[in-house]
Amino acid sequence: MFPSSNGHAEVNVRILKSLVAKTGCKSIAEEKFMHGLLELRNSPRADGRSPSQVVFGHPMRSQVPMHHSSYAKEWQRSSDEADRKAAEQEMKMIERYDRSTRRLKPLKPGTIVLIQDPLSKRWTKSGSIVSCGKNRDYRVVTASGRVYWRNRRFLRPKILPNAATPDPEKNDEPEKQPDVPLRRSERERKPVVRFRV
């Protein structure tokens, strides 16, 4: 089980929108926006490396003055440490995601299930499982004959009302449960005061 990467894309879009707002540019072709984008590529991320270090192995030259040691080869030697930090961060993210997850029970062919609608997120359609795939995917056929391939998390077994089948070995009469007196509180109750207005 792995977390989705949509969150990273949302963060990147948010960063670029804030860059456009800070520079006050009306077009991304303006020079001010390009300088801001260059500084953004030189800014280190959570693993300690900037995007330019990931791609080129060293920071890019920009208008901000930097010491000549910033362009030394030690950045390339420290990339292994940065990779280790990135792997640790990814494992922590996976652990946080897996804390609230659970494996769903596999479904057998012939099981009647509810199908979640991808837009409304409601369990509106129902069908019967025809076959199972390799990666927790199932082929479901509805009453109208339409066929859907759905992952296990978008399927929910439908609870059918079970008709009580009489057992010939047992009596048809239901067993009488012993009468249990209702449990009452023993604390004293205050009388209700009603104000007539």
Q: For the residues 161-190, what does the mean pLDDT come to? A: 66
Is residue 172 situated within a structural domain?
no
Mark whether 63 and 88 lie in a shared domain: yes
In this structure, the number of other CB atoms found within 10 A of the CB of residue 140 comes to 25
Is residue 183 situated within a structural domain?
no
pLDDT for the residue 157: 92
**pLDDT tens profile 123-158:** 989 999 999 988 889 999 998 889 999 999 899 998
Mark whether 95 and 138 lie in a shared domain: no
Is residue 165 situated within a structural domain?
no
Mark whether 118 and 149 lie in a shared domain: yes
Position 75 confidence tier, pLDDT thresholds 50, 70, 90: low
Q: 54-58, 67-71, 84-88, 173-177: lowest mean pLDDT where? A: 173-177
How far CA 171 is from CA of 127, 164, 179, in Å, comes to 37, 13, 21
Is residue 119 situated within a structural domain?
yes
Helices 6-23 and 31-42 pack at an angle, to 10 degrees, of: 140
Mark whether 85 and 28 lie in a shared domain: yes
pLDDT for the residue 103: 84
Residue that wins the pLDDT comparison between 141 and 38? 141
Mark whether 71 and 122 lie in a shared domain: no
Task: Write down the mean pLDDT value for the chain.
Answer: 78
Q: For the residues 110-124, what does the mean pLDDT come to? A: 90
Is residue 182 situated within a structural domain?
no
Choose one of 50, 67, 99: the last residue of a domain.
99
Mark whether 121 and 88 lie in a shared domain: no
pTM of the model: 0.40
Closest C-alpha to 94, from 191, 183, 4: 4
Q: How far apart are CA 157 and CA 126, in angstroms?
A: 9
pLDDT for the residue 116: 92
What is the residue range of 128's domain? 112-157
Is residue 22 situated within a structural domain?
yes
Is residue 23 situated within a structural domain?
yes
pLDDT at 4 over 50: no
Phi, psi of 61 (to 5 degrees): -75, 135
